[in-house]
A and B are shown apart, each in its own frame.
Chain A
Amino acid sequence: MTAKSQRLTLVLLALAAIVAASLLALSALKDQAAFFYAPSDVKRDGVPLGRAVRLGGMVEAGSVKRAPDGVTVRFVVTDGGATTPVVFAGIVPDLFRERSGVVAEGSFRPDGGFVATNLLAKHDEKYMPPELAKTDAGTMHETKTLDR
């Protein structure tokens, strides 16, 4: 193999690897990227089933209910225009409270309810999840962000 043809082979290999990586990454991204929804989006566009999404809004006043097992929490997320019921089994973030912003990671059930696997709350008096800054729920807070 001459130096020139070897260089060509290596360049082609590298190109093939990069193309393969990009295709692999993009195809995986199509399935795996978690889109952000507000309750109004769900009302307008329908429920995105079978994929991981993020749901954001305010925790509606008086909606937080604890199940008898002590670890399951039910609450309602609102963005002023629509509401979505959420169920979450786990330790809620320290600053999760009613009338406060929340982003839930998880997926929708066919009935329109949301099963959260993770909750992100406004981290302290100053910080809040970035998506909320853009919704109605967020306009009343500063937009300094500190995710988790």
Chain B
Amino acid sequence: MIAEAGLAALWLAAALALLQFALAALGLRGAGNAAEITGAVRPVAIVQGTLAVVAMLLLITLFQQSDMSVKLVATNSHSAKPWIYKVAGAWGNHEGSMLLWVTILGVAGAAVAWFERRLNERTLTATLGAQGLIALGFYAFLLFSSNPFARLSPAPADGQGLNPLLQDPGLAFHPPTLYAGYVGLSVAFSFAVGALVTRDVGRDFARAMRPWVLGAWVFLTLGITAGSYWAYYELGWGGWWFWDPVENASLMPWLAATALLHSVTVLATRDGLRAWTVMLAVVAFSMSMIGTFLVRSGILTSVHAFAVDPERGAFILALLLLYIGGALALFALRVGTVREGTTFELVSREGGLVANNLLLSVILGIVLIGTLYPIVAAGFGVQLSVGPPFFNKAAGPIALLLVVVMAAGPLLRWRRDRLNEVVERLTWPISAAVFAFAGLIVFATPIGVLPLLGLSLAGGLAVASVAPLWKRDLRRTPLFTWGMVIAHLGIAVSLAGMACDAAFTKERLVALRAGEATRVGPWRVTFDGLSPVIGDNWSGLQARLTAERGGSSRIMLPQSRTFSDPPTVTSESAIATVLDGQLYTVLGAADGQGRWQLRFWWKPFVTLIWLGGVLVAFGGALSLLGRLRPRRRPVERWT
């Protein structure tokens, strides 16, 4: 019964999405009494979002009850699984994750209908209509090609289990957070479409759109940070970013959203960059959809690609072309009617933000080309893969250039500034960067060029990002200024972590007998021995290591786990976190002569990478709070 109720909720939600679009279209066409029809769109959007949530909750209930008569539960769950993975397992598969996607789409639309009060009524109606149309396509995708509630007859005695790599607490938080960001960008897309339809691109539009972009961006930042940490400790490879196509699929919307976040500020504050901002809003969610297509079509292979099914890939591709193509066509038709806003000098806050946008777009282009190239090549019968050497070489230098712009940007004045004054304001940041550079050259050779520049620039950026608070009454500094300062500081912190990891990591791969010891960086690690361990649905081996450093010692227990449903072996790394870095240990296989392979990394300050990511998200959240709270207009100095 529950499965049927879920399916009914989905059909009903799809019908309401259609109604939402139709009402909006009618309301915008009709003259005179349009306000009444328009007034009905809000409640429809709210009910549609609620129904999607109901369907998601029903699917979770089915997983919770291990109802093996439901195909999706039978193929992806197992009754012996811990309960948290039964809940999270609901989205650890193709159909469930698409349902989560659509649910968040519905919730985003409902949230706009419920909370949005700044946007004028006509544009809001058009926005909700666009959101309904997007939802309709993805409901159709679920109902016609990915029904999560399909039954299985006869029901098997037990399920096939969840991929052990996904049996991690991260699965409970990572997909919902990432999707909230990913799909949250649909709001920006719909806003852009709405504003194009009603020819209403301007400051008020930008002010209304900004909090939604910020919100999605905060979730996306958190989702990427969490995903990076998951890959770091779960895969046992010691790396934190692999330029895997799936990672790129989440990075591309983030790059576009970051650019949008900055250009929308120019539009809201100075009424400039109108067409460009609308374009970016379209691009940002297009990147989300392209990412969904890449991940869900099975064109790529990764832990995220649950199924290879050309029909589904074709369906998403069709939706993608329809929505992106439609939005771009609308843009092309209406861009002439978007009056260009005010002008500005090259050396100005606007100029800095334009540079930010251009550089982010270039990085986005590089990541997109690198991600799609193997797929295009495969179309010509050439098999190849594009990995870290390409992305680091192509995107790294531009990212560093972006850091320079980022340091200077917040210290620039709106409209017009003088170059020599800017350099004067940048005295301290430049000194910090030069000081760091000189220190590294003297004390830390040999060091690669990118890590060297990265660490120096991180120092400069850290100083520059707090500079806007200089000589300011901190209690009266608006929240969004604090947000910007903290987010920029977070980038500096994260960059420092990446550069330290690249420059100073010590790696050691050894085969040891019980009782033998080895050195890695400042640590002396002793292999005490091996013991069997047993978990809820796995059994395995656990190494006992004693890691000593400067008189203190700690026990570390890396494991090798064997899962039975489905039969798989995974290694669980053991990580010791100390103030100045992490010691990372992995247990390998026996070498056949009584020794065991062990792999160690000493990674100084690697934790800064994720600490920085969290700071960036926190800064975004503060900024969002500052934008939402009604306030008196402060004197805008360097904000």
Contacts and interface: CB of A to CB of B under 8 A. Distances in A.
Interface of A: 1-4, 6-7, 10, 13-14, 17-18, 20-22, 24-26, 28-29, 32-36, 52, 54, 66, 69-71, 89-92, 94-95, 105, 123-126, 129-131, 134, 143-148
A91 to B, nearest CB: 3
B301 A145 contact: yes
Interface of B: 163, 235, 276, 298, 301-303, 305, 307-308, 340-345, 354, 358-359, 361-363, 365-366, 369-370, 373-374, 377, 382-387, 389-390, 393-394, 398, 509-511, 560, 566-571, 586, 588-589, 591-593, 595, 597, 599
Nearest to B393: A28
Q: Which 7 A-B pairs have the closest CB atoms?
A: A70-B511, A91-B588, A94-B569, A36-B383, A32-B390, A145-B301, A21-B362
Contact of B340 (A7, A90, A95): A7
Query: Which of A33, A70, A123 has the most chain B CB within a 10 Å cutoff?
Result: A70
Contact of B369 (A26, A91, A124): A26
Nearest to B273: A10
A6 to B, nearest CB: 5
A25 B366 contact: yes
Nearest to A69: B511
Nearest to A145: B301
Nearest to B567: A125
17 contacts: A1-B343, A4-B340, A17-B359, A21-B398, A24-B394, A25-B369, A32-B386, A33-B377, A36-B383, A36-B384, A70-B591, A91-B589, A95-B569, A124-B568, A145-B298, A146-B302, A148-B302
Contacts of B305: 145-146
A140 B471 CA distance: 71
Contacts of A123: 568
A35 B384 contact: yes
A4 B195 CA distance: 22
A92 B597 CA distance: 10
Given A25-B394, A145-B301, A147-B302, A124 B567 contact: yes
A70 B510 CA distance: 7
A21 B366 contact: yes
Contacts of B586: 91
Contacts of A92: 588-589
A13 B357 CA distance: 11
A104 to B, nearest CB: 12
B510 A71 contact: yes
Given A10-B354, A21-B365, A91-B589, A131 B509 contact: no
Given A32-B390, A91-B589, A146 B301 contact: yes
Contacts of B597: 70-71, 91
Contacts of B589: 91-92
Given A10-B354, A13-B358, A144-B308, A3 B343 contact: yes
A74 B618 CA distance: 49
A57 to B, nearest CB: 13
A33 B394 CA distance: 12
Contacts of A147: 301-303
Contacts of B382: 35
B301 A129 contact: yes
A34 B369 contact: no
A26 B365 CA distance: 11
Query: Which of A52, A91, A129 has the most chain B CB within a 10 Å cutoff?
Result: A91
Given A14-B358, A70-B595, A91-B589, A6 B343 contact: yes
A42 B269 CA distance: 61
Contact of B509 (A4, A13, A35, A89): A89
B595 A22 contact: no
B570 A94 contact: yes
Contact of B566 (A1, A29, A94, A125): A125
Contact of B301 (A3, A29, A32, A130): A130
Contacts of B370: 25, 29
A106 to B, nearest CB: 12
A63 to B, nearest CB: 15
Nearest to A143: B308
Given A126-B566, A147-B301, 11 more contacts: A4-B340, A6-B340, A14-B361, A25-B366, A32-B390, A70-B597, A91-B509, A91-B597, A125-B568, A144-B307, A145-B301
Given A70-B597, A71-B510, A33 B390 contact: yes
Nearest to A67: B591
A20 to B, nearest CB: 7
A18 B365 contact: yes
B591 A66 contact: yes
Contacts of A14: 276, 358, 361
Nearest to A128: B301
Contact of B386 (A34, A70, A94, A125): A34
Given A22-B365, A25-B370, A145 B384 contact: no
Query: Which of A1, A22, A33 has the most chain B CB within a 10 Å cutoff?
Result: A33
A54 B374 CA distance: 13
A32 B362 contact: no
A144 B586 CA distance: 28
Contacts of A21: 361-363, 365-366, 369, 398
Nearest to A37: B383
Given A1-B343, A66-B592, A92-B589, A17 B511 contact: no
Contacts of A134: 383
B566 A91 contact: no
A36 B365 CA distance: 25
B383 A131 contact: yes
Contacts of B566: 124-126
Contacts of B588: 91-92
A82 to B, nearest CB: 17
Nearest to B568: A124
B385 A34 contact: yes
Query: Which of A3, A13, A24 has the most chain B CB within a 10 Å cutoff?
Result: A24
B354 to A, nearest CB: 7
A7 B273 CA distance: 9
B343 A2 contact: yes
B239 to A, nearest CB: 11
Nearest to A147: B301
B389 A52 contact: yes
B76 to A, nearest CB: 13
Contact of A28 (B363, B374, B394): B394
A17 B398 CA distance: 11
Contacts of A69: 511
A134 B381 CA distance: 11
Contact of A33 (B301, B302, B373): B373
A90 B253 CA distance: 35
Nearest to B307: A144
Contacts of A1: 343, 345
B510 A29 contact: no
Contacts of A7: 340
A55 B588 CA distance: 23
A126 to B, nearest CB: 7
